[in-house]
Chain A
Amino acid sequence: MTTLTLRGWLLAEVPRSKGQARCQRVFISWLAFKRNPVAVIGLLIIASLVMVALLAPWLTSTEALELNLAKRLQPPGGEHWFGTDELGRDILDRIIWGSRITLYIVGLVSIIVVPIGLVIGVVAGYIGGWVDNFLMRLTDIFLAFPRLILAMALVAALGPGLENAVLAIALTTWSPFARIARAEALTIRNSDFILAARMQGVSTAGILTRHVAPLCMSSVIVRLTLDMAGIILTAAGLGFLGLGAQPPTPEWGAMISLGRQYLIDQWWVPTMPGIAILVVSLGFNLLGDGLRDVFDPKSGGNQ
Chain B
Amino acid sequence: MRASSVLKAAGPGRALPSKLVKASGVIVSLILTFVGLTAVTFTIGRVMPADPVLAIVGDRASQEVYDQVFLQLGLDKPIYVQYLKYLGQLLQGDLGTSIMTAQPVAEDILRFFPATMELATVATLLGVFVGIPMGVLAAVKQGRWPDHVVRVIGLIGYSAPIFWLGMVALLVFYARLDWVAGPGRLDVFYDGIVDPVSGILLLDAALAGEWDIFDNALDHLILPASILGTFALAYIARMTRSFMLDQLGQEYILTARVKGIPEWQVIWRHAFRNVLVQLITIIGLTYASLLEGSVLTETIFSWPGIGLYITKSLFNNDMNAVLGGTIVVGVCFVGINMLSDLLYKLVDPRVR
Say whether A278 contacts B170, CB under 8 Å: no
Contacts of B47 in A (CB 8 A): 157-158
Of the candidates B175, B314, B329, which one forms a contact with A146 in the assembled complex, judged by CB atoms under 8 Å apart? B329
Assess whether B325 is interfacial by the CB under 8 Å rule. Answer: yes
- When A140-B29, A144-B337, A301-B241 are in contact, do A274 and B330 touch as well, CB less than 8 Å? no
Number of A-B contacts (CB under 8 A): 146
Of the candidates A129, A144, A277, which one forms a contact with B161 in the assembled complex, judged by CB atoms under 8 Å apart? A277
Say whether B29 contacts A233, CB under 8 Å: no
CB-contacts of A208-267 with B (<8 A): 229, 233, 236-237, 240-243, 253, 256, 260, 263-264, 267
Task: Give min CB distance, A186 to chain B, whole Å.
Answer: 10
Say whether B295 contacts A153, CB under 8 Å: no
Contacts of B288 in A (CB 8 A): 146
Please, what's the 1-or-0 string for B229-256, where 1 marks a CB less than 8 Å from any CB in chain A?
0000000000001100110000000000
- When A146-B333, A150-B330, A282-B156 are in contact, do A157 and B44 touch as well, CB less than 8 Å? yes
Assess whether A159 is interfacial by the CB under 8 Å rule. Answer: yes
Contacts of A142 in B (CB 8 A): 36
Report which residue of A140, A144, A148, A263 has the largest number of chain B beta carbons within 10 angstroms of its beta carbon: A144
Please, what's the 1-or-0 string for B283-327, where 1 marks a CB less than 8 Å from any CB in chain A?
000001101110110010000000000110011010100110110
Assess whether B267 is interfacial by the CB under 8 Å rule. Answer: no
Contacts of B337 in A (CB 8 A): 144
- Bound-complex Cα distance A240 to B158 (A): 18
Of the candidates B36, B44, B158, which one forms a contact with A141 in the assembled complex, judged by CB atoms under 8 Å apart? B36
Contacts of B314 in A (CB 8 A): 152, 156, 241, 243
Say whether A157 contacts B29, CB under 8 Å: no
- Bound-complex Cα distance A158 to B12 (A): 43
Say whether A156 contacts B29, CB under 8 Å: no
Task: Give min CB distance, B40 to chain A, whole Å.
Answer: 7
Say whether B45 contacts A282, CB under 8 Å: no
Contacts of A242 in B (CB 8 A): 315
Assess whether B54 is interfacial by the CB under 8 Å rule. Answer: no
Assess whether B9 is interfacial by the CB under 8 Å rule. Answer: no
Interface size on A, residues (CB 8 A): 46
- Bound-complex Cα distance A256 to B162 (A): 12
- When A150-B40, A157-B44, A241-B296 are in contact, do A271 and B163 touch as well, CB less than 8 Å? no
Say whether A147 contacts B299, CB under 8 Å: no
Assess whether B49 is interfacial by the CB under 8 Å rule. Answer: yes
Assess whether B32 is interfacial by the CB under 8 Å rule. Answer: yes
Please, what's the 1-or-0 string for A118-156, where 1 marks a CB less than 8 Å from any CB in chain B?
000000000011000000011011101111111011101
Assess whether B155 is interfacial by the CB under 8 Å rule. Answer: yes
Assess whether A285 is interfacial by the CB under 8 Å rule. Answer: yes
- Bound-complex Cα distance A278 to B163 (A): 11
Assess whether A165 is interfacial by the CB under 8 Å rule. Answer: no
Assess whether A176 is interfacial by the CB under 8 Å rule. Answer: no
Task: Give min CB distance, B123 to chain A, whole Å.
Answer: 16
Please, what's the 1-or-0 string for B157-188, where 1 marks a CB less than 8 Å from any CB in chain A?
01111111101101100010000000000000
Say whether A285 contacts B155, CB under 8 Å: yes
Interface of A is mostly: helix
Contacts of A270 in B (CB 8 A): 164, 167
Say whether A156 contacts B319, CB under 8 Å: yes
Contacts of B49 in A (CB 8 A): 157-159
Assess whether B342 is interfacial by the CB under 8 Å rule. Answer: no
Contacts of A274 in B (CB 8 A): 160-161, 164-165, 167-168
Say whether B156 contacts A153, CB under 8 Å: no
- When A144-B33, A148-B292, A156-B322 are in contact, do A236 and B171 touch as well, CB less than 8 Å? no
Assess whether A173 is interfacial by the CB under 8 Å rule. Answer: no
- Bound-complex Cα distance A241 to B314 (A): 10
Task: Give min CB distance, A217 to chain B, whole Å.
Answer: 24
Contacts of A241 in B (CB 8 A): 295-296, 299, 311, 314
Assess whether B334 is interfacial by the CB under 8 Å rule. Answer: yes
- Bound-complex Cα distance A41 to B246 (A): 27
Say whether A148 contacts B293, CB under 8 Å: yes
- Bound-complex Cα distance A150 to B289 (A): 13
CB-contacts of A170-196 with B (<8 A): none
Contacts of B242 in A (CB 8 A): 301
Assess whether B48 is interfacial by the CB under 8 Å rule. Answer: yes
Of the candidates A129, A154, A243, A260, which one forms a contact with B44 in the assembled complex, judged by CB atoms under 8 Å apart? A154
Look across to chain A and name the residue whose beta carbon is closest to the beta carbon of B158: A285
Say whether A301 contacts B246, CB under 8 Å: yes
- When A148-B292, A149-B295, A301-B241 are in contact, do A157 and B319 touch as well, CB less than 8 Å? yes
Please, what's the 1-or-0 string for B47-80, where 1 marks a CB less than 8 Å from any CB in chain A?
1110000000000000000000000000000000
Contacts of A264 in B (CB 8 A): 171, 175
- Bound-complex Cα distance A97 to B329 (A): 36
Assess whether B130 is interfacial by the CB under 8 Å rule. Answer: no
Assess whether A281 is interfacial by the CB under 8 Å rule. Answer: yes
Task: Give min CB distance, B54 to chain A, whole Å.
Answer: 15
Task: Give min CB distance, B69 to chain A, whole Å.
Answer: 20
Binding site for A on B (CB under 8 A): 12, 29, 32-33, 36-37, 40-41, 44-45, 47-49, 155-156, 158-165, 167-168, 170-171, 175, 241-242, 245-246, 288-289, 291-293, 295-296, 299, 310-311, 314-315, 317, 319, 322-323, 325-326, 329-330, 333-334, 337
Given contacts A149-B295, A149-B310, A281-B160, 10 further A-B contacts (CB under 8 A): A141-B37, A144-B36, A144-B334, A153-B41, A156-B48, A157-B48, A159-B49, A274-B164, A281-B161, A285-B155
Closest 10 CB pairs of A and B: A274-B164, A301-B242, A141-B36, A282-B159, A146-B292, A281-B159, A157-B48, A157-B44, A146-B333, A153-B326
Binding site for B on A (CB under 8 A): 128-129, 137-138, 140-142, 144-150, 152-154, 156-159, 229, 233, 236-237, 240-243, 253, 256, 260, 263-264, 267, 270-271, 273-274, 277-278, 281-282, 285-286, 301
